[in-house]
Chain A
Amino acid sequence: MKDEVLKTDQELVTAALSDKHAFSEIVHRYEDPIRRYARRLGCADGDDTDDVLQEIFLKVYISLNDYDADLKFSSWLYRIAHNEVISFFRKKNVRPRVLNLKTEDVEKFFSQIADEKDFVELAHQRDDTRIVLDLLSTINPKYKEILMLRFLEDKSYTEISDILKMPEGTVATLINRGKKELKLALEARGMQNI
């Protein structure tokens, strides 16, 4: 197992293609981040998230020969995770729960975004999780998703581009628009920037 931990993602993919048991290491390595990501996209804790995770990793296993090393494996896996979560909600014919974020998610989100000069005031409000969640809930879902990838999943613009299959320029535009909407939501609540 120690040897498996030291292997790169590419090496694990190659191993899993010839030995299905080697795929378990990929699951171990990515279970926690993908579970968090699925939850943040709106999956309820418990059975829903477990079901989605199974679907995601089975899809990853079936599609292993589609992976090319010029793409980060995590970006490729996140792409599959994103698509499977969307499919999951479509199959269940329900809308995703709006932001299934835990307190530590909110903390992290605003510590990241508060580095942006326009959001200092927002950072001061982050003790009131409900207000902050309300604010996040008001913005357009496509901005919310991309802000989560940027500020919660710590993905770079290139990684977000690969995950959501859109140009990097579009990623930057959507992040800026998302921040503007957040700022407007701030101002609507009478919170001014310092």
Chain B
Amino acid sequence: MNDQLSNKIQEQIEVNQITPLPRWRFLLLRGLFWFLAILSVVVGAFAVAASLFLFIDYHRHGLFSVPHDVTEILLMIPFLWIAVFVLFIGIAREGIKHTRKGYQYRLSTILSISVALSIILGSFLNFFGIGKVTHEVLSEIPLYSSITFDSRDAWTRPVEGRLAGVVFSIRDNSNFSVVDFGGRVWQVHLGTSTANSYIPEASSTVRMAGILDSSSSVFIVKSIHEWEE
């Protein structure tokens, strides 16, 4: 038996005082990969929750039944949350791949499970209002609010025919004033062709589709609904 190699290795071990790394180092590293994978699924779930909140919010406030220009349509797609979701599912996949047995599973299996877990958890989070909280907290950040489009933004566009706000001064059944979500006051007239017979009360919040009369700056309403919180 040729001892040359084993002698060289023993010499290296002695001279450089090499010892096996302690087991806790490897367990810690494995734990970190699992933590990364789980954290990524959770972040993905928050992305799902926020996206669901926005989608339901648009639907609840009738945004899918009014016309939008291309910019608005693009803003309504939660690109940021989709990007976050895709990024973190990718990170989850890398984390799982580096666990002890994770490499045994096909990419499609890991991705499917990660996506499914994020969607299930995200739906659960949204049910308990976490989607809304996530969106509202992040809306304080100018960059985030500039690239997302919530229903309050969408309904504060009288020039595009959409106005919402709090009713504060009712002159008669057809004329009242509204302060919009940006704090600006508008005169509103319920036209004879108003589609529904909803009569707003003082201090109620309403959303209205219609036309802004550019000469009188009066918003002429075609349809009016209560604003659902």
Residues of chain A whose beta carbon lies under 8 Å from any beta carbon of chain B: 17, 20-21, 23-24, 27-28, 31, 50, 53-54, 57-58, 61-66, 68, 161, 165-170
Contacts and interface: CB of A to CB of B under 8 A. Distances in A.
A20 B10 contact: yes
Given A24-B6, A61-B20, A65-B26, 6 more contacts: A23-B6, A23-B9, A28-B3, A62-B19, A64-B20, A165-B97
B5 interface: yes
Contact of B5 (A17, A54, A63, A65): A54
Interface in B103-122: 103-106
Contact of B20 (A21, A28, A63, A161): A63
Contacts of B13: 20, 23, 58, 61
Given A65-B22, A66-B21, A31 B103 contact: no
Q: Which 7 A-B pairs have the closest CB atoms?
A: A165-B103, A65-B23, A27-B6, A24-B6, A66-B26, A64-B20, A167-B106
Interface residues of B, number: 24
B18 interface: yes
B59 interface: no
Contacts of B26: 63, 65-66
Contacts of A17: 20
Chain A interface main SS type: helix
Contacts of A61: 9, 13, 18, 20
Nearest to A31: B5
Nearest to A170: B106
A112 B18 CA distance: 41
Interface of B: 1-3, 5-6, 8-10, 12-13, 18-23, 25-26, 97, 100, 103-106
A161 B5 contact: no
Nearest to A25: B6
Contacts of A21: 10
A24 B8 CA distance: 10
Contacts of A169: 106
B9 A54 contact: yes
Contacts of B9: 23-24, 27, 54, 57-58, 61
